[in-house]
A and B are shown apart, each in its own frame.
Chain A
Amino acid sequence: MKHELRMGLAALAVGLMTSVMPAKADFWSDAGAKYKGVTLRGVTESTPPSNYIKDVLAPAFEKATGIKVEIETTSWDQMYDKAIKDMEAKTGIYDMVYIEQDIIYAYLARDFLVDITKSLKDDPSLKAPDYDETRFTTFANYFKNADGDLFGIPMEAFIKLYLYRTDLFNDPAIKEAFKKETGKDLAPAKTHEEYTQIAEFFTKWGKDHNLELWGTTAQAHTGHPASWYEFFESVAPTFGVYNWGIDASKNYSASVADGGTMNSDKAKAALKYWLHLRDIAPPESAASTWTEVGTTFAAGRAAQGMVYGENAAWIASDAEKSKVVGNVGVALPPVEPGVMEDAESGKGYIGYYDGGAFGLPVTSKNKEASLLFLQYIGQDSVQGDWAVAAPRITNTATYDDPKVIEMDKKLNGYYTMLKNDGKLFAGAPPYPFHAQVREATAPIFYRILLGEVSPDDGLDQMAAAAEAELKNLGYRK
């Protein structure tokens, strides 16, 4: 009798499961049926999270719905070039575009994007059962308008963090030598002075021991905006210079004379600190963008460095690409006194919270089908594997995924840091003129890097150039 009861219960359970599961699975095939044969085209930067969309999520979506998805992964510059041209000319080539956090304000100002929240509210038949925008982390707030409507599905979010080599930092001989030279214990730096001391020590250590080892990385390309970004988004804030030193509340002033901080004493100190680090970093630093910095660290050429979180997972875990697997520690960036307090109180921040979303251009010819795909990549169920393949977390539930918890151990607590300390970091300032101000000031910045202009004079010139460009753009009166 008991056996029969068990059998009956099992049959009932199986029956219930089979009746429930197809209902969920059927949403995608039912919703996709109308658009079967449609091909969606997206353009994004070639990063690990984007490649995961291209290689895993797009084929899975196609299998579930019959809607084909072609994702074009290209360089950062080309991605913007193509997306903006398409939306500006209203050609409608792309149904999805990557929106980096720092460009969203410009896109919203130009009404380039579809309001996803409103669209799903207007047509509930498109709403996927496993999609809920309240499940995104607070990073999604960067992609919302004043009414709280979402204009992009967050697909990557990471912090630029301080990586260090645990094998070197824990080596007894190195620890002893460091103590002898500096009188301090070797530990991840909390201040700029400590960071410089460690960097100088390891560069000397590498030279003395004939090793291909330097004390720090530096994203200091002399012709690519990566160097500009490293300074304004990762270094200057740790000295208390926020929002690139431009104060929107003071008529978009950049110079100290007008109320900005781009050429403040703090900014000048930050630049000198960073230029010194650049000088004791590996020789390739002068030609390094964010990608090469990750490669330098993975090749075991730097003892510590500021590395974008999107590269942290493969550096720490992929033995085919990285020589430092199992030897990567993570820490918060070193800061000047008072900056951590600023960050904790919300007045400032200690580094860059980078990331991006997939948006739907208003010029898309396949808006409904695109909305389905955007929800597909926003579901909780796809996040765990995605976070393991590429270190990004955009949904709160992802932190509790067993695979992510396991990965967190390999990354020495990177995800825990993202969860607990993510609030100390910030995305780019909410200005709709990012590339314009950057391009107006970057040539001077490159001249500083080459030593053609002193850091002090260079920052003065940059502040003046930024204000001139803002006036030209009509933001500064």
Chain B
Amino acid sequence: MRSNRVGWLMLAPTIAILGVFGIVPFLYVLYVAFHQWNPFGANPYMIYNGANNFRRLVFDNEFLTSIAFTLKFAFFAVLSEVVLGYFLAQLFMKEFPGRGLFRTIHTLPLIVAPIVVGSVWRLMTTPSIGIIPYLLKSWFGYDLNIGRDATMAFALTVIMDIWHWTPLVTLTLLAALVSLPKEPFEQAQIDGANRWQIFWHVTLPMIRPAILATVFIRLMDALRTVDEVWMLTGGGPGAATRYLGLHIWKIVFPKTDYGYGSATSIIVLYLTLVMCWLLYVALVARRGQKRAS
């Protein structure tokens, strides 16, 4: 009983912080989501409107388009980061001259603020003056214009995200690989397993928790990306890169439609949770059930 009290006491600051900065704002957003509230409307005060904001979302083409683009963005970005991050982690497991220096340089993007990443990529990709359009034109005769080419604008946001966040995946997987025991690998080699079999049957199952944690983190980040993309394309051309985070930002801030923006945020949170849960079921729970049976 006494130890329980001490435990709660020790947890109290964390719970208080979580409550003030997490639970209370969430409840407030939930409350606002059931209201019509635009401070620049003819009536600037909150008016209860039931589930109308949520109903409106179902028929909102811009929102549905934004979901589709965001999922596409998250899929390509996270998949590429995990694959590339794994290969880089494997590379850093090996000894080679300059490994420390290369590893340090490779992690530098992580310390750059997203808004700065967006600015730098914008400078590099601005038609006529950016280094990337210049090189593409000189080498391949290709005219890159992210103001007009929706596919290239989308691709560039993915590439920028990969450049920025692959080091995080690399570091996480490197930590997982370093911590693996040697015995299972030696046993597999003795049993005559080839490199692919060792990867599939030994390495992958053992680093699965690390991969899963990394995918969760990156997926959640990718679904709410705002600043980098806002800086690089502003969500354009058209709506090609108006991902959910940016879409919500535009509803809440320039448009000041707080009620509808809150409802959109709640739905996006719900979508994120569902996706993570599905991923968890697909990668962990079902496997656990198979083993049990």
Query: Chain A interface (Cβ within 8 Å of chain B)?
Result: 77, 80-81, 84, 88, 106, 109-110, 212, 220-225, 282-288, 292, 301, 432-433, 435-436, 438-440, 443, 446-447, 449-450, 452, 472-475
Contacts and interface: CB of A to CB of B under 8 A. Distances in A.
Contacts of B148: 222, 286, 450
Contact of B127 (A81, A109, A286, A440): A286
Given A284-B126, A284-B129, A449 B40 contact: no
Nearest to A432: B40
A439 B127 contact: no
A454 B274 CA distance: 39
B41 A286 contact: no
A286 B239 contact: no
Interface in B222-259: 233-239, 241-242, 250-251, 253-257
Contacts of A224: 234, 236
Contacts of B126: 284, 287, 292
Contacts of A438: 254
Contact of B255 (A109, A435, A452, A475): A435
Given A446-B236, A452-B238, A439 B255 contact: yes
Contacts of B42: 473-475
Contacts of B233: 223
Contacts of A474: 41-43
Interface string B255-272: 111000000000000000
Nearest to B42: A474
Contacts of B146: 287
Contacts of B39: 88, 110
B143 interface: yes
B192 interface: no
Given A440-B255, A474-B43, A286 B62 contact: no
Contacts of B143: 283
A472 B40 CA distance: 11
Interface in B132-169: 143, 145-148, 150
B255 A286 contact: no
15 contacts: A77-B253, A80-B254, A84-B256, A110-B40, A221-B147, A223-B236, A223-B238, A224-B234, A286-B148, A287-B145, A287-B147, A436-B255, A443-B239, A446-B239, A447-B238
A222 B40 contact: no
B7 interface: no
B44 interface: yes
